[in-house]
A and B are shown apart, each in its own frame.
Chain A
Amino acid sequence: MLEPADTDPADTGAVEPVWVSPTWRALLAAGVRTVASVPDAGLAALIRRAEATADVTAVPLSTEEEGVALLAGAWLGGSPGVLLMQSSGVGNCINLLSLARTCRFPLLMVVTMRGQYGERNPWQVPMGSTAAEVLRASGVLVFDVQDEADVAPTVEAAAAMVFSGAGMAAVLIGQRVIGAKAFAAAGR
């Protein structure tokens, strides 16, 4: 079990979760050059990788559905991308998924799950328990990952499918992999 990611911010020099480096390599190997994101503690290291990579455009969003449209625009311009978000962001995306579905834009999503396992914020539980179902109902291939060793190979497999024409796919990284948020000092 990893340390809770919230207690592991970049500036402490703490250890990056082991799945991050191979997952980032898998994304680059799949051709990903645009990384759109709304942050989650579990995605912080991946977002830092994107920001630190010269040929990659990292795009912080104000809300997740922007990412669906933004990646469609990037694809029109020849730049394959990925959308990073936490499970609560899935609900924000639903209508915009119609863009990817109707136009058959490739859409690769990596979603860190909250509200799923040991969650201490009950407000995270609704999307945590329905994100996979909602995505499937919207026509998205869903890959549910519960072991950190499976994250990178699953992202590689999902990317291969998305960018060879299979449409939309989401890799859901389970809260057992990410760790439940600690709510220690700040009481957030």
Chain B
Amino acid sequence: MSAIDPDRAERYPIRRRPFVAGLLAGDDGVLVVTGLGAPAWDATAAGDRDRTFPLWGAMGGAVAMGLGLALARPRDRVLVLTGDGELLMGLGSLSTVGYHRPANLAVVVLDNERYGETGAQPTHTARYTDLAGVAAACGWPCTGTARTPDEAAALAAGLWAQEGPRFWVVKVAAADEPLVMPPRDGAHLKERFRRALLGEP
């Protein structure tokens, strides 16, 4: 097997911030759960909103949380926006989604092949792990990996037209972005989400 360039992710052409901003722009109805770290900062940079639940911890739990929300709200669209390191800690949840196959769920992994919050150590996707391949093997009907800005733009435009649940890896540049943090009081995040969605805390 040929050696993999450990710096390849630094040259990926997709930038995470404009991609996430485009994905969320104007979509007031979508319910969003973000994994901890950079995906939470990306979503917040696109605009702090009540119907987004950004995790500050619970690493590995984002997909399962999105699944619970999707099953509870079958008429709403649920987007889990997370990172490669976060998802790797909860890979089993991809098989749990594959078992239930909620059509209203989308998972988008912002894959910079790094643990960005802890010193940019490589994750397993920096070598041979193919997360979209894992999801496909777990029975997700629509999976893929976006590597170019054109593919990312097509994904952002067409995500909800695909058969769900759908799972996309977006290979994003390994680069630091400014911290844009959501509120960190979890009870507040929970109550504002429920108030916006259900009208009660």
- Partner-B contacts on A (CB < 8 A): 33-34, 36, 57, 59-63, 65-79, 81, 95-96, 98-99, 102-105
By secondary structure, the B interface counts as helix
Nearest CB in chain B to that of A79: its residue:
B72
**Number of residues from B at the complex interface, CB < 8 A:** 37
The answer to whether A78 and B186 touch (CB under 8 A), given A57-B72, A60-B99, is no
State the Cβ distance, B182 to closest chain A Cβ, in Å: 13
Q: List 11 A-B contacts (CB under 8 A).
A: A66-B64, A66-B92, A69-B58, A72-B190, A73-B65, A76-B68, A77-B69, A77-B73, A77-B76, A98-B57, A99-B57
- Partner-A contacts on B (CB < 8 A): 31, 33, 53, 55-62, 64-73, 76, 90, 92-93, 95-96, 99-100, 186-187, 189-190, 193-194, 197-198
Nearest CB in chain A to that of B73: its residue:
A77
B65 touches A69 (CB 8 A): yes
B61 touches A69 (CB 8 A): yes
B96 touches A69 (CB 8 A): no
Give Cα distance in the complex from A48 to B25, angstroms. Answer: 43
Give Cα distance in the complex from A161 to B187, angstroms. Answer: 18
Q: Which of A68, A75, A81, A95 contacts B59 (CB 8 A)?
A: A95
